[in-house]
Amino acid sequence: MSEIPFQTPVKADLLISGATLITMNAERQVIADGAIAIAGDRIVAVGKREALTRSVVAREVIDGRRFVVTPGFVDAHIHITGDPLTRGFARGGPDDTWSDKLQKWVIPIFKAQTAADERLSAQCAALAMIRYGTTCFVEAGTVLQLDAVMEGLDESGIRGRVGEWVEGRAFNPADDQAKVSAAAIAILESEVERYPDRGGDTRLAAWPLLVGHSTNSDDVWRAAKALADQHGLRVSAHMSPRAGDPEWFLARYNRRPLEHLADIDVLGETVMLTHLANIDQSELDLLVQSGAGAIHCPHAAFQGGFGLTHIGLFPEMLDRGVNLMLGTDGMAADILSSGRLMASVFRDARWDQELIPATTVLEMAILNPARAMGMADQIGSLDPGKKADLVLHDTDLPEWGPVFDAVGQLAFSAPSSGVHSVWIDGVRVLDDGRATQLDEEKVLADARQAGREVIARTGLPTRTPWPVL
């Protein structure tokens, strides 16, 4: 058990006593009538309530008998700008292709946002994540105003890794590819220097994130991978949600996307690729061999009609040991709903009700991304010495009922609204469902107004499926 003997009383700022702890530790222990102690930004003791009440002296004690406690969830892929201010605005019409929606609607909305808009958008995203128990995230690499975004995120208290929008391919043949690549690489180098990741004590940092798809030259990919390897960072990029990416790479290089990335030596454990809905068996082999991480965004895939039930290889990734994690892509409020959707769809598609069990859902939402981010020694489990990033799930709700199997109930049936309190770095950022670091009312009111102004600037028409009187 995680409990350790103490020769002298352990001093703590907080003791949560009597809770059920889903530790996610190496033994995957679930501790009934457990307790967890926090001092500063670290967990200092984990074990049975009876033992810790004798061995820990805490300034504050919380009665945890109605709670299940977990490590914080990790959203491995989320757009924190662009979407939060304009989420309800329809992108395109039924006759628009996916590419048209992206080029004529989605990207113009992103690029119409000011620094103040992106700052506000990031705070809205952070509020939503924290409300549903997400304490750490990897941004999707589509931030235009990095300084403003980092400032807004810092005020929220969330942990995350963020990157500026980098496209390093010359789309116009008349452009100088070397110059375009050099400009993109300069952005990568600048952001990493301005917001360095120094490991355990770094709550917010910049990583060399790429938009991916077919938007970056080989030189930019190599530079991003080199920066990641040199500084202990990660590269994350979109790849192969649909057939368009494989078709482009085959036409240009006579290789599929992951085959090309392997050929230019930019796959590896410091690379995390998002979507991967349209990969073949050879690319799955490369994922396994390289140790690259895969990020599945079920809501984006299934709402976007990626065809996963026919071609998706995510169960095979799990079977073969690919480090598979979950992302919301900004399309879902909570990461658990992503895991539930994934499990349900693939169980149905493969006619296997045991596929992707509750334990796997929680691992994909907590441990796997912590490992992929190179942060498993800091977050991802309730272990002494790790960061005090943890969530109290309120079981005093009809959807919970008696707690027979905390893991199964949390993964598949507990309400996402049941998150009561959240700590990040030992700071209580959510208390009884209310944010403590941001003025929620002001953020949300400002966001509604800013969203209307963003859409007005784009000049895009508002479309609704039924007439609004």
Query: Are 264 and 240 found together in one domain?
Result: yes
> What's residue 174's pLDDT?
92
The yes-or-no verdict on residue 4 having pLDDT over 60 is no
Any domain includes 467: no
Any domain includes 125: yes
Query: Are 287 and 179 found together in one domain?
Result: yes
Is the Cβ–Cβ distance between 134 and 421 less than 8 Å?
Answer: no
Q: For 382-404, what is the mean pLDDT?
A: 97
Query: Are 316 and 426 found together in one domain?
Result: no
Three-state DSSP at 260 gives helix
Query: Are 47 and 131 found together in one domain?
Result: no
Query: Are 143 and 64 found together in one domain?
Result: no
> How many Cα atoms sit within 13 Å of 69 on the Cβ side?
32
> What's residue 95's pLDDT?
79
E strand spans, 216-350: 235-239, 271-275, 293-296, 324-326
Question: Considering only 187-191, 315-319, 435-439, 461-465, which range has the smallest mean pLDDT?
Answer: 461-465
Q: For 200-208, what is the mean pLDDT?
A: 94
Confidence of residue 86 (pLDDT cuts 50, 70, 90): very high
- Other beta carbons less than 10 A from residue 173's beta carbon: 6
Confidence of residue 23 (pLDDT cuts 50, 70, 90): very high
Query: Are 91 and 47 found together in one domain?
Result: no
- Per-residue pLDDT tens for 168-185? 999 998 999 999 999 999
> What's residue 106's pLDDT?
86
The yes-or-no verdict on residue 2 having pLDDT over 70 is no
Between CA 443 and CA 454 the distance in angstroms is 16
Instruction: Return the structure tokens found at 261.
Output: 């990335």
Q: For 412-419, what is the mean pLDDT?
A: 94
Query: Are 88 and 58 found together in one domain?
Result: no
Question: Considering only 3-7, 17-21, 423-427, 434-438, which range has the smallest mean pLDDT?
Answer: 3-7
Domain boundary among 351, 372, 393: 372
Q: For 306-330, what is the mean pLDDT?
A: 96
- Per-residue pLDDT tens for 351-361? 999 999 999 99
Global confidence as pTM: 0.96
Any domain includes 449: no
Q: What is the CATH number of the domain that holds 296?
A: 3.20.20.140
The yes-or-no verdict on residue 373 having pLDDT over 90 is yes
Query: Are 82 and 66 found together in one domain?
Result: no
> What's residue 458's pLDDT?
92
| Residue carrying the six token digits 């506000």 | 120
> What's residue 110's pLDDT?
87
- Per-residue pLDDT tens for 25-36? 999 999 999 999
> What's residue 7's pLDDT?
62
What residues are paired with 294 via a beta bridge? 273, 324
Any domain includes 444: no
> What's residue 335's pLDDT?
95
Domain with 401, as residue range(s), is 10-71+381-433
Any domain includes 443: no
Confidence of residue 6 (pLDDT cuts 50, 70, 90): very low
Q: What is the CATH number of the domain that holds 14?
A: 2.30.40.10
Q: Which residue has the higher pLDDT, 82 or 361?
A: 361
The DSSP call for residue 382 is -
Query: Are 280 and 429 found together in one domain?
Result: no
Any domain includes 192: yes
> What's residue 332's pLDDT?
85
Any domain includes 465: no
- Per-residue pLDDT tens for 239-290? 999 999 999 999 999 999 999 999 999 999 999 999 999 999 999 999 999 9
- Per-residue pLDDT tens for 277-290? 999 999 999 999 99
> What's residue 159's pLDDT?
98
Query: Are 319 and 410 found together in one domain?
Result: no
Query: Are 385 and 336 found together in one domain?
Result: no
Domain boundary among 372, 391, 412: 372
Query: Are 117 and 55 found together in one domain?
Result: no
The yes-or-no verdict on residue 199 having pLDDT over 90 is no
Average pLDDT, the chain: 95
Tally of domains within the chain: 2
Any domain includes 454: no
Cα–Cα distances (Å) from 279 to 211, 244, 304, 401, in that order, read 18, 11, 17, 42
Between CA 70 and CA 73 the distance in angstroms is 8
- Per-residue pLDDT tens for 90-125? 888 777 887 788 888 888 888 899 999 999 999 999
| Residue carrying the six token digits 């709903």 | 337
Between CA 332 and CA 334 the distance in angstroms is 6
